Amino acid sequence: MSEPSPQAIRAEALESLLIENGLLDAAAVDEVIEHYNERVGPMNGARVVARAWRDPHFKARLLADGTAALNEFEFDTTQTEKLVVVENTDAVHNLVVCTLCSCYPWAVLGLPPKWYKDPAYRSRVVREPRAVLAEFGVELPEQRQIRVWDSSAEVRYMVLPQAPVDAAECSEQELAGRVSRDAMIGVALS
Amino acid sequence: MTDELEGPLAPPMANGEVLFEAPWQGRVFGMARALCEAGLYTWDEFRAELIREIAHWDREPAGEYRYYDHFQRALERLLARKGMLADAQLERRAELLRARPHGHDH
């Protein structure tokens, strides 16, 4: 059995002290982890996107007030900060970042991937979004404008990718299966 | 520069992704959220502490960037500032845990 890392030991020390001091319940920690492992994640966002692709009225509501539109689903939105959904079009491509830390639309995407939290992404996406997108394999026409949205404690952003041409012929469920997490951050097209 | 964006670029369709690289990262994240939900601080207070931690690294990068190290440090500082847990107490407990017979951990 390998030696636990210094960080693992420190985390264990922290948790044991907080429990002894009556500040923390270990079951509450388990509950948070389970919540993010099983109940929230990109599949929630994918369902939102799929519905917006199929239903123009829902899309209008979603773009007008993302937080309110989420109430039409049975997601656990108790921790939802204000959600703003930004739409990709032939003229504009949107990209989401949190330059200061790692704010992220948890309710619809779960926890952020590692690269989202890395200094390279946080700093470069604002300076050279086109180059960063190219590294993700996204080449946009030159005339397409790129808008970078910096998340904050108050506002979280999610991208509504462009609908596939056959959206009208597919079920919401089929469409949801085709929406990637990365597309909802803006570093992929679908 | 190109390899700075390494990591899982493959888009998962559901929650098939490993959220934490090590179990302790999940525990620390869980602790931070649970304490906030219990009303010991607001998430904004935690976020401000995290931003300070990360900004410090951004100014003077020391070693590899490891997000959850900063996350844990931010939590420790916030608890210390609120008088809930002294750093020295934490050090002592960590030392005790380190002195455990090897193989006790699981």
> Tens of pLDDT along B69-102?
999 999 999 999 999 999 999 999 999 999 887 6
Q: Which stretches of chain A are DSSP H helices? A: 6-20, 26-34, 42-54, 56-64, 66-70, 106-109, 114-117, 119-127, 129-135, 172-176, 181-185
CA-nearest of B60, B27, B29 to A106 is: B29
Q: What angle do CA A108, B14, A32 make, to 5 degrees?
A: 60
Spell out which residues of chain A touch residue B75, defining contact as CB-CB under 8 Å.
Answer: 14
DSSP category for residue A164: P
Contact A176, A42 (CB under 8 A): no
Residue A180, Cα to own-chain centre: how many angstroms?
10
Contact A92/B at CB under 8 A: no
Instruction: Mark yes or no for CB contact A115/B9 under 8 Å.
Output: yes
Chain segment A97-144, per-residue pLDDT in tens: 999 888 899 889 988 888 898 889 999 999 999 999 999 999 999 999
Contact A173/B at CB under 8 A: no
Q: What is the pLDDT of residue A159?
A: 98
Mean pLDDT over residues A172-188, rounded?
94
Bigger pLDDT: A167 vs A3: A167
Instruction: Mark yes or no for CB contact A153/B69 under 8 Å.
Output: no
Contact B82/A at CB under 8 A: no
3-state secondary structure of A24: coil
Put simply, the chain A residues between 24 and 83 with a CB less than 8 A from any chain B CB are 24-25, 28-33, 36-38, 41-43, 46
Interface test with B, best of A16, A18, A37 (most B CBs within 10 A): A18
Task: Pick the residue from chain B with its C-alpha nearest to A43.
Answer: B14
Residue B28, Cα to own-chain centre: how many angstroms?
5
Q: What is the pLDDT of residue A27?
A: 94
Per-chain mean pLDDT for chain A: 92
Contact A134, A86 (CB under 8 A): no
Nearest to B47 among A1, A101, A113 (CB): A101
Burial class, B1, CB count within 10 angstroms (exposed 0-12 / middle 13-18 / buried 19+): exposed
The region of weakest confidence among A50-64, A159-173, B55-69 is B55-69
Amino acid (1-letter code) at residue B65: Y
Non-local CB neighbours of A57 within 8 Å, separated by 6+ positions: none
Instruction: Mark yes or no for CB contact B97/A17 under 8 Å.
Output: no
Q: Give the gap in angstroms from C-alpha A66 to the nearest C-alpha of chain B.
A: 21
Rounded-to-integer distance, Cα A38 and Cα A20, Å = 29
